[in-house]
Structure 1
Amino acid sequence: MSTLSTDPVHTPTPPRAFTRRLAVTGLSAQETSVLPVTEDQLADLPSAGVRYAEAMGVLGRPRTWSLCAHLVSRVRRREGGPWTHADTWQFNTADPVTRLVRSRVRLAGLVPVEVWDTYRGEPRHAIEAHSGSVSVADGAGPELVRNHLESWLEDAVLMAPAMLLHRWIGWEDLGEDRFAVSVTDGGRSAAVVVALDGLGHPLELWTQDRWVVQPGGPARTSCSTVPCGWVVADGRPRVVGSTATWHLPRGDVTSVSTEVAALALDVPPGR
């Protein structure tokens, strides 16, 4: 049987600009639950979901309410577009469903900017140039909302599985090695399909509702995310990184390649 290597826990130390932004969001630190997840709490999950939760170290630990991650990525915004290096910090919570992401990139490889993609009931996209100029786009369209909720689900499946044990999370049985997991927030829902490997770890995540920029405008496409590997940290599996691929009519296009540089669970905003 395959084994996982052991990796030291790298605790994120977010930059001050990121923690200052978190401090003004109104998110408050929640008291971390001390009650461990039991087998009875997994009884309503499909068999593949139970196997996943057990393999990911959910049993015997409290439910997770937040994650803070530092990601180093290569990102391609459109088919045929150039790769852009991104240094990303993000903070997610389970209650309320929240995803706050700040990425530092260079537009056209030259102009340094900060890109903020946030979801807290409604999505918001902001580009802040170092010159002080700001471009902001707020959106409530179903496509944009669904994209944010799908990203929140993928983050939880790969980095914080115990965030998926709340009443607004749904599970669907798709067979011995596959399940669907969904989230509902403000009456709007999104779902991803998760395939498992022989150890019960996520092998691939699928969604049919990603939107990609095409010459004729935004187009709906399917997208898959594949973990790059796993290590043991703090006594449980931790994802090393992942790649995301659009499945377009003309062929597959890899859009994101990400390394998880640091990850911490149940930390207060602005720590």
Structure 2
Amino acid sequence: MASQALPARGARLGRPVTAGRASAPSRRGHGVDPAVRAVVLALPGGDPLSTRRRSPVAAAVMWPLARHLVRAAGDDGLAAHVVHYRFRGWNGGHAHPAEDAEWAVDEALRRYGDVPVALVGADMGGRAALHAAGRPGVVAAVALAPWLPDGPEPEVEQEPVKQLNGRRVLIVHGTDDGATDPELSYRLAERAKKVNREVCRFEVHSDGHALRHHRSEVFALTADFVLGALMDRPFSRPVTDALAAPPPLGLRMPLAVGFGRGLH
């Protein structure tokens, strides 16, 4: 069995994200920063199977969204970190990124105290956000174009949803996504809605996996949802309607062009 041992390395939180760029590492030791009222953990994408080191490119993709969230929070005390995984892959039943996301939640609470945490992930990170949402301290999970298996995995019978109960959940998927199947995220959202009414899903029509064509709308939607969940800001009307509507309407809500203009 020793030949199957994985490399010994730990997950870590990236530098605190500021509205401008990643800041220098904190030097306050183990003290709690009273200015921080909430935390966002950004979870990058990855590969289905790989024990290589995490991808710096995938991590860098999450920085603009993390900066946008910090900027949108203004002076309300939001801390954001990109999570650096131990491994690049999900690796079947090991679900390494989900384990790392759970560790990151615990680490955020250790650093900042008893504050609400939101998990925001893209691609494989979206799946990790949903898996880790049941961790104490998490109040919301956002999955952007989540990677979900289209077949059985070792030691996994069905994608779990019970951990989402009591959390606010947003799933966003482009209808032209050729890398991750939008129908799979719809089916997951449909199952999740049965155990938790606070689930909504938006479809970005004519956009692909990276959601580049409607990036500003996706960023605005994510900020609206995350800041509403973390800081009790009022949700926009489309988010309120999506959360309240039964399937399929609330799970196939179209993201309107220009969403977010004039918000926050």
Q: Provide TM-score, normalisation by structure 1.
A: 0.30
Higher helix share: 2
Rg (Cα) greater in structure: 1
Q: Using CA pairs below 8 Å that are at least 6 residues apart, which structure has the higher relative contact order? A: 1
